[in-house]
Homo-oligomer: A and B are copies of this chain.
Amino acid sequence: MAITARFLAGIELGGTRCRCVAGTGPDDIEAEEEVPTRDPASTLSALARVLQRWQDDLGPLAALGLAAFGPMELRRDSPRYGCLGATPKAGWGGVDLRGFFAQRFEMPIGLTTDVIGAALAEGRWGAARGLADYAYVTVGTGIGAGLIVGGRPLLGCHHPELGHIRIARLPTDVWPGNCPFHADCVEGLASGPAIEERTGRRAADVPPDDPAWDAVAHTLAQLATVLLLATGPRRILMGGGVMSGQPHLFPRIRRGLEESVAGYFDLDDLTGGVDGFIVPPALGARAGQLGGLAVAAAAARHTKP
């Protein structure tokens, strides 16, 4: 008699630690474990041991979902599908994440970037429930966006890299930016490290009246405007350490969006009002882990007989 696999496994592969979870959703977590992110060989082996132990204890797992720092090759027609790209994280460039687990486990494996994973988790359990078209933006060590379009992650020749667009800058903001590729792209102007370099303090310690926030809010409002005009999300969730630590940014970004749309759209009609359009995520620090679980759920669904 076949044993029905009850639990999904999710892994968030982060820059400093990997968070593993087994369960079916935020209210049904059977096991959790953390593994420090070191070199690829020892980190991945440790993760495999966690999964093996869970299989021994909980029975067969229905699917594995990986939500990992990128850039990552997500084109299924690529020979490098599931491999990391040119990441600055030493030793990890080119690592075949999917292949490693596929060689060791027979369950379906889904994978995506951490930010797309968080977007999927917010759609399934959080602040984007019921929406088929929305965006999740993280503002932290880097700035990234996961776009869900028609209920699925948007993926063309690459996953979105909206943190690296350049925008129309605040005329009074002449700081050169710190992105090693693009200087004053969104990430180079408004990420945590950029704020730290602008102000000489950790982003969390910069008071709300510091003029640096004008430039940061303007930059993020421009990003929101581009998102609205490019892909028409029904809602934009903005999370990550900078946003959660500086909630005054939300009203400033909403006003900046209104100013830059400048009456071209009826924002109330399109978005139901900006206050509900640009919002914090609901899953907070759990979005990453739950992202792995959401990806696992999708992988399980797509391979159902």
Contact = CB atoms under 8 A, between A and B. Distances in A.
Nearest to A222: B166
B133 A164 contact: no
B181 A226 contact: no
A93 to B, nearest CB: 12
A151 to B, nearest CB: 10
A1 interface: no
Interface stretch (A121-129, A228-236, A285-293): A228-236
Given A152-B150, A168-B167, A260 B182 contact: yes
A33 interface: no
This chain: copies in complex: 2
Interface string A9-26: 000000000000000000
Contact of A232 (B86, B155, B164): B155
A165 interface: yes
A158 B230 contact: no
A156 interface: yes
B234 A226 contact: no
A89 to B, nearest CB: 16
A229 B161 CA distance: 5
17 contacts: A86-B266, A147-B231, A149-B149, A149-B154, A155-B232, A156-B231, A156-B233, A157-B234, A157-B270, A158-B265, A158-B270, A161-B229, A161-B265, A162-B229, A162-B230, A167-B167, A182-B260
